[in-house]
Structure 1
């Protein structure tokens, strides 16, 4: 993931886009791209939406992921560590039923 973040940073720097990539703008961009992802499911059943527009859905998911990686880097979050920590919290909060 660090390598991908480096590639994204380089891509952004080469285009002079770093001035707008603060935490606030990146958080807004995540939300906007997530909305664009959701738009593909607006009027169709999930299976139909994926069958019809899988490539476009993948591109929107990638946009969300890219902005999320940039956001994490901007504020100093290790996403892998944060995800594992959150999963531990979720496991304690929502234990498996052992009926």
Structure 2
């Protein structure tokens, strides 16, 4: 996928235009964006806070839209932080997946929830 067709890049560009139109660029530094992201992650956690594991796995239909909004907020803040820090998030994700494949070989970690240094 080329950069010009990347959904990440499209969203980053839209977020930049959204912020510029509101004169919010002045507030969108990495520190402030990370703080905002932390708040959104807290709002996501709140949706799951008192659910049983079974309820969480079958998230209540009447709360799905709220879940989608929180996930979108988190994704958009991540993209904004990456943009401000000049990180190609799509490339970073590809590299991290490759690294995780090395750190967690199937034959050593299959069915085990342990950190790579405990395999």
Q: TM-score higher than 0.5 here?
A: yes
Aligned residues: 99
Task: Tell which structure's C-alpha radius of gyration is larger.
Answer: 2
Task: Return the alpha-carbon distance in structure 2 between the equivalents of residues 15 and 75 of structure 1.
Answer: 21
Aligned 8 A contact 1:12 1:18 in 2: yes
Task: Return the alpha-carbon distance in structure 2 between the equivalents of residues 47 and 21 of structure 1.
Answer: 34
Out of 11, 22, 28, the position equivalent to 1:15 is 22
> Residues 49 and 43 of structure 1: is their aligned pair in 2 closer, same or farther, counting only changes over 3 Å?
farther
Out of 89, 97, 105, the position equivalent to 1:79 is 89
Structure 2 residue 35 is matched with structure 1 residue 28: yes
Aligned 8 A contact 1:40 1:49 in 2: no
Task: Return the alpha-carbon distance in structure 2 between the equivalents of residues 78 and 30 of structure 1.
Answer: 18
Root-mean-square deviation (CA, aligned residues, Å) is: 1.7
Q: Which residue of 2 aligns with 1:43?
A: 50
> 5+ residue gaps in structure 1?
none
Q: Which residue of 2 aligns with 1:60?
A: 70
Paired residue secondary structure (1:40) = helix
Q: Deviations over 1:33-86 (max 9, x none)?
A: 011011001112204544230000100110001111100000000001000111
Aligned 8 A contact 1:50 1:57 in 2: no
Offset, 1:97: 1.5
